[in-house]
Chain A
């Protein structure tokens, strides 16, 4: 064993239960974690990157998923053969972990300070706790650590909770910090701060960090070295610069090529096109739930106005809670707006104000693609029925609907036999294609897409976006595209509207918004995009030349 390696993994294989889609979740993976480095393991869902970290922590789920062969050397011991008891002593003290979901990783009924104190107590160092807890909370950049120590988790924001998680992880000065997608659930601005914090603390405390992520932007921000995993195998590993600039393996190249570019392509102006939809002064306030006496209304959308032309994609970008989803739901009347109007070419009257029964007739004009490809298709219905439902509800004859289902499946590039199958037989990307087919079934003029690719892997994301663009061109659709991901917006939008706390703060052609943002919030949002330096246009061109 090499003494200079912190963790040395050799020929590690993790077996899956019989009947799974492949015999090994991780197959013959070897790599090492060097002292004081950040090693990023990147891969798409199902690549085995998370299981690798669980194997190191001895947290593999159940007896069926287990280490089949190989070794994990750490501080002179092989973690693959360690007893539970010994592993417990190491966990938290020498190897610590941060999880993806800060909302559920903390115990909701225990004060934050007590949860950190527990870390010391479990490892027999309770006497240190009193002095260290406040110091730790300060070190992770929490304001007023002395009072936050006594707060319950629900009082903290997602970013603050993730800071508490980091404080807990670093409490006992571990040699290794494993971070499993620690910023995936966070907003882009919070993500930037947390990444900076992890990097700083890791340098200060000479900790080695194994960082699991699916996002090459994050990799560009934080990694010293990068390992790329595909279907359980480590296909490429090397210094971050080399992998990001000159990927060798075809899979890595494909992944990097699928990362949306930050510079919007130069698009033909659409000013000669007909305006399809005109929205004016939409306002929505939710009466918030809360205690009995302190009901605070939430002003979700404030006076939003915009218009979309035929063949135009308007991207509405903003962080979670900015009101963009509420705005989208107002357009299809899943939520009733308090004020405002919407007129649509081909429909008489104000679509937001008319009675539900009158709106029913106009429903086909505005259709929606939903975010979650797993929840948006009824698991008990066949795909053909799912797509045909709307047509039948509008009174189309059954055989005409069936014929149209066929042509729609062809349009979204699925086999005609898909109509007879159930949603669970399809992958996430295929399901999203079915969702698009369903939305197009009624021949809408306006397609509202609410985060349609945020649940998909980056390479699938690119395919679905391409399909959407192609369909839009063919059908001359107006598209309202809701997204939190500026990189996706840059790729697909003609015009961009930036929402912040319910207000559209900036609205204009995509190129102008990205290249010369005017509003201060837009600037901050663009500055927070992970891997921005790497994604900058000039670098991009250079890299493309290098890889081709």
Chain B
């Protein structure tokens, strides 16, 4: 653990990323305290430029942009984390079975991943949300459905190489059960690249959610950054602040997560990192 932190710290970018991410997290968690009340509520005249009363101005209907950005952090992070969790769990299970058992199990799993990967992922996500009806749950499901295949392929490849290692044979010879071998013996050795990939997937999921909301497929009850940019389209030239602030929020969060992912990569795969740098 000490080593992990020592290597992570070496990359300055990932420290900055971590700081930004922590700030975003605090804002998301403390949002209701910082900006009490409903972010959908009309507070003043529409299209007020940023001022001391409204730090980020007001939007086309006179709602406080700052309140929207603060409350939107919750939705963005929630969807990013939960959909990644679902996608990673799904990809991990399928990839682990495919890589461990091989043969027909592997064939079936690979065919399914190929099937999903041949469909343009954003369009599939849009269709799913449209069919299921826009809500946080359906957005999470649709993002998970389009993002698990790469996880599955990665886990499968890791398992295929690890399964040939002698410690796995040793586990079989000592009579351990298959589930134990997959999850206790092999999985911990495959975890590093999965964690790195998952951290980057959170960023992609936030972008996908923003894009869906921008298209008007967001959860109508929850304000989100993508929705705010989408709603600001019509006033883009008169009022830059309505789209720039939520846009900057997306940009900073995604950048921070990517930086953290890079730091995790360095710390979890130290040999690869050093080879890359020197």
Task: Evaluate contact between B174 and A393: CB separation under 8 angstroms.
Answer: yes
Contacts of A63 in B (CB 8 A): 278
Task: Evaluate contact between B175 and A394: CB separation under 8 angstroms.
Answer: yes
Task: Evaluate contact between B175 and A363: CB separation under 8 angstroms.
Answer: yes
CA distance A367 to B278 in the complex (A): 45
29 contacts between A and B (CB under 8 A): A62-B278, A63-B278, A334-B172, A334-B173, A360-B175, A363-B174, A364-B175, A367-B174, A368-B173, A371-B166, A372-B166, A376-B166, A376-B170, A377-B167, A378-B185, A378-B188, A378-B189, A380-B188, A381-B185, A389-B171, A389-B174, A389-B176, A393-B176, A393-B177, A394-B175, A435-B170, A438-B170, A441-B174, A442-B174
CA distance A438 to B189 in the complex (A): 20
Residue of B whose beta carbon sits closest to that of A423: B167
Contacts of B10 in A (CB 8 A): none
Asked if B38 is at the interface of the complex by the 8 Å CB criterion, the answer is no
CA distance A390 to B169 in the complex (A): 12
Contacts of A390 in B (CB 8 A): 174-176
Asked if A332 is at the interface of the complex by the 8 Å CB criterion, the answer is yes
Contacts of B170 in A (CB 8 A): 368, 370, 376-377, 435, 438
Contacts of B175 in A (CB 8 A): 360, 363-364, 390, 393-394, 442
| Interface members, chain A 367-392 (any B CB < 8 Å) | 367-368, 370-372, 375-381, 389-390
Task: Evaluate contact between A375 and B166: CB separation under 8 angstroms.
Answer: yes
Residue of A whose beta carbon sits closest to that of B169: A334
| Interface members, chain A 408-439 (any B CB < 8 Å) | 435, 438
User: What is the 8 Å Cβ interface bit string for chain A, positions 1-45, against chain B (1 contact, 0 not)?
Assistant: 000000000000000000000000000000000000000000000
Q: How near does chain A come to B166, taking the closest CB pair, in angstroms?
A: 4
Secondary structure call for the B interface: helix
Q: How near does chain A come to B221, taking the closest CB pair, in angstroms?
A: 44
Contacts of A435 in B (CB 8 A): 170
Contacts of A381 in B (CB 8 A): 185
CA distance A389 to B167 in the complex (A): 12
B: interface residue count bin:
10 to 19
- Interface Cβ pair total, 8 Å cutoff: 58
Contacts of B172 in A (CB 8 A): 334
Name B173's contact: one of A363, A372, A380 (CB within 8 Å): A363
Q: How near does chain B come to A128, taking the closest CB pair, in angstroms?
A: 38
CA distance A187 to B188 in the complex (A): 36
User: What is the 8 Å Cβ interface bit string for chain B, positions 137-180, against chain A (1 contact, 0 not)?
Assistant: 00000000000000000000000000001110111111111001
Contacts of B171 in A (CB 8 A): 378, 389
Name A393's contact: one of B167, B169, B180, B188 (CB within 8 Å): B180
User: Which B residues fall within an 8 A CB radius of A?
Assistant: 165-167, 169-177, 180, 185, 188-189, 278
CA distance A371 to B169 in the complex (A): 11
User: What is the 8 Å Cβ interface bit string for chain A, positions 431-474, against chain B (1 contact, 0 not)?
Assistant: 00001001001100000000000000000000000000000000
User: What is the 8 Å Cβ interface bit string for chain A, positions 138-173, against chain B (1 contact, 0 not)?
Assistant: 000000000000000000000000000000000000
Contacts of A393 in B (CB 8 A): 174-177, 180
Q: How near does chain A come to B174, taking the closest CB pair, in angstroms?
A: 3
Known pairs A393-B177, A442-B174 / 6 extra A-B pairs, C-beta < 8 Å: A332-B173, A367-B174, A368-B170, A376-B169, A378-B185, A389-B176
CA distance A394 to B180 in the complex (A): 13
CA distance A376 to B162 in the complex (A): 11
Contacts of B180 in A (CB 8 A): 393
Q: How near does chain A come to B54, taking the closest CB pair, in angstroms?
A: 53
Contacts of B173 in A (CB 8 A): 332, 334, 363, 367-368
Task: Evaluate contact between A370 and B176: CB separation under 8 angstroms.
Answer: no
Contacts of B177 in A (CB 8 A): 393
User: What is the 8 Å Cβ interface bit string for chain A, positions 343-382, against chain B (1 contact, 0 not)?
Assistant: 0000000000000000010011001101110011111110
Contacts of B174 in A (CB 8 A): 363, 367, 389-390, 393, 438, 441-442
CA distance A364 to B173 in the complex (A): 8
Q: How near does chain B come to A34, taking the closest CB pair, in angstroms?
A: 39
CA distance A370 to B166 in the complex (A): 7
5 nearest A-B pairs in the assembled complex, by CB-CB distance: A390-B174, A376-B166, A380-B188, A363-B175, A370-B166
Residue of B whose beta carbon sits closest to that of A441: B174
Contacts of A376 in B (CB 8 A): 165-167, 169-170
Contacts of A368 in B (CB 8 A): 169-170, 173
Contacts of B169 in A (CB 8 A): 334, 368, 370, 376
CA distance A381 to B177 in the complex (A): 17
Residue of A whose beta carbon sits closest to that of B186: A378
Residue of A whose beta carbon sits closest to that of B185: A378
Which of A62, A334, A370, A378 has the most CB atoms of chain B within a 10 A radius of its CB?
A378
Contacts of A372 in B (CB 8 A): 166
Residue of A whose beta carbon sits closest to that of B166: A376
Q: How near does chain A come to B135, taking the closest CB pair, in angstroms?
A: 40
CA distance A490 to B205 in the complex (A): 63
| Interface members, chain A 33-80 (any B CB < 8 Å) | 62-63
